[in-house]
Each structure stands twice: as C-alpha cells, then as structure tokens.
Amino acid sequence: MFDLLPSRSGRVIACGHRGHSINGHENTRPSLRQAAELGASLCEIDLRMTRDGRLVVFHDDILDSASTGTGLISQMDYCDIARLQTRNRNGPLIEGQPIEPFEDILAYCHDLGLALIVEIKDKFEGLGYLENVVRLLKKTAMFERVLVSSFDYVVLRDIKHLAPGIRTMGINYHRLVEPAAAARSAAMDVMNTDYPQFAPDIAESLHAAGVSVSHYVPPPAHFVLRRSYGLDYRDLLQSYMRAGLIDMLVCDDVTWIVDFIKNCGLEPTRMEFAR
C-alpha cells in the first residue's frame, strides 16, 4: 500500500483530477496516461452505474454535457452507452474516447502503475453496489492501490465494514467544527477539503488524528485572474505546503501541480508497484 502521509518526509502526492483533464479529456485513457507521464502517481476517477448494473467511469449522472449522447446513465443499458464517445464539456474539440467499464480502466491503470481515487457518485440502496466495487478492485489486483471516495460518509463507513483494509477518502466543501471527529465517524483515511475552505486548523486536527490531508485546487487560470486583482492564494498555499499541512494536492492540470510542489522545495511522491 502507498503512503498516505508523505508530508512527514517532505513529499506530496500529485493527483490528477479525472486524470490530466485540463485539455478537455476526463475519465479516459488519454487523461490517465498523460497524468502518469507528467508525474502524477494518483488520479481521481468517477463512478456511475447503468440500468443493467455495469459500473462505468463517467462524472455526470447525465450524458449530455461530456459525451455524444443524452439521458440519464441510470436509465440506459451499457450496450447503448458503449456506442458513445466522450467530448470536451468546455468547448474545444478533442478526439472522442469510449465511456469505459470500471474494470477496464482499473486494468489499464494497473498496467500504467497508477494508483486511483475512485469517487462513488450514485445514490443507492443496499450493499450490492459496494460489493460490486470491491469485487472488481480485487479482480484487477487494484484493491491496495485505490482510495474509495465520496461526499456520502455513510458510503465510506459501509464499504469499510464490507471490506476491512480498504482505504477511503471523505470529500468536504465546508469548514468543519471538528474535522477529526467527522473523519473518525466514517473511519476514513483521508479527508479532502476544496479551495477556498481549506484552513490550517483543519489540517492540523486531521494530522493529529493520523488522517491524511488532501486539498483540491482549481486550474491555474483561476489563480492567475485573481492575482491580477491583488488576491494571490498561491503564496498562501505555498506556505501551507512548506509547513507540511498537505499530503495530497489535486488539480485538473498535472503539469502545474508537479511544478508547484517542486517550487515549494518538496518532492512529488513516486509510487512503485509490481506490474
């Protein structure tokens, strides 16, 4: 298993959000391959289930914004979705890719030597969904290379009970009163706080409880524009990094986060897995 607290040794995990997705590809082989080539050791992907029970790697509940199709994934069989191609949700043309089954992306990342954050997006009843996730992680030998993430902390609690040893990440948009207590409630291994809610006391509380700290930041253009108005979060973020408050930095642009980590005087974590 990979180290979730690399801040103890001056290292940081560089995580590609939906792969290296800044160029329009997301949740596809090109985005994952590019992320690995650019220095990410971990990538986040999103999970949806079709009407006939196939888990596919796609962010939205509908196909309209980022594919050549339309409609709810949960109301379509996989054979219909398999005919579609991805497209750039932000406009410029990209070479469309298939919307792939979860197990195929897992096998691809195994061969790349890439670890994954698997975000469960759907709402569901019972444990069948989670049992399917665990089965495919074990089938593809990715169980020890994956963090299962969700905004739903009940999901994280339940998959821990179902599969002891699995590691999980809670996603948080808020300034929590007791971050460590929230993490303990779901037995999570990592908590992610999105910009701009991140604060040092959140990280300090989590580290004191042995919980890894992840921080998602928007693409660099977001900060460039605000810097032109006199607001420079990058300097503040750099101070957080140098203080060892962050274990994982997540962004759509892998080139930017790898360079940023190095400019902080830190090293991106390299994970070595047997292939």
Contact criterion met (CB below 8 Å) for 133 and 155: no
The contacts of residue 54 (CB under 8 Å, 6+ apart) are 77, 78, 101, 102
| Location of structure tokens 């932000």 | 90
List the beta bridge partners of residue 42.
15, 115
pLDDT tier, 273 (very low <50, low <70, confident <90, very high otherwise): confident
pTM of the model: 0.96
Q: What are phi and psi of 235, to 5 degrees?
A: -65, -40
As a whole number of angstroms, the distance between CA 7 and CA 203 comes to 11
Does residue 223 sit within a domain?
yes
Instruction: Supply the CATH number for residue 166's domain.
Output: 3.20.20.190
Residue 272 pLDDT exceeds 80: no
Q: Is residue 226 part of a domain?
A: yes
Asked whether residue 225 is assigned to any structural domain, the reply reads yes
Residue 274 placed within a domain: no
Structural domain of 137: 6-268
Does some domain include residue 275? no
| Digit-coded pLDDT (tens) for 169-221 | 999 988 889 999 999 999 999 999 999 999 999 999 999 999 999 999 999 99
- pLDDT reported for residue 92: 87
Give percent above pLDDT 90 in the chain. Answer: 94
Q: At what angle do helices 254-263 and 29-38 cross, to 10 degrees?
A: 20
Identify whether the C-beta of residue 28 lies closer than 8 Å to the C-beta of residue 97: yes
Residue 133 confidence (pLDDT) above 70? yes
Residue 39 in any domain: the answer is: yes
Is the pLDDT at 145 greater than 90? The verdict is yes
Distance of CA 31 to the CA centre of its chain: 13
What total number of domains does the chain contain? 1
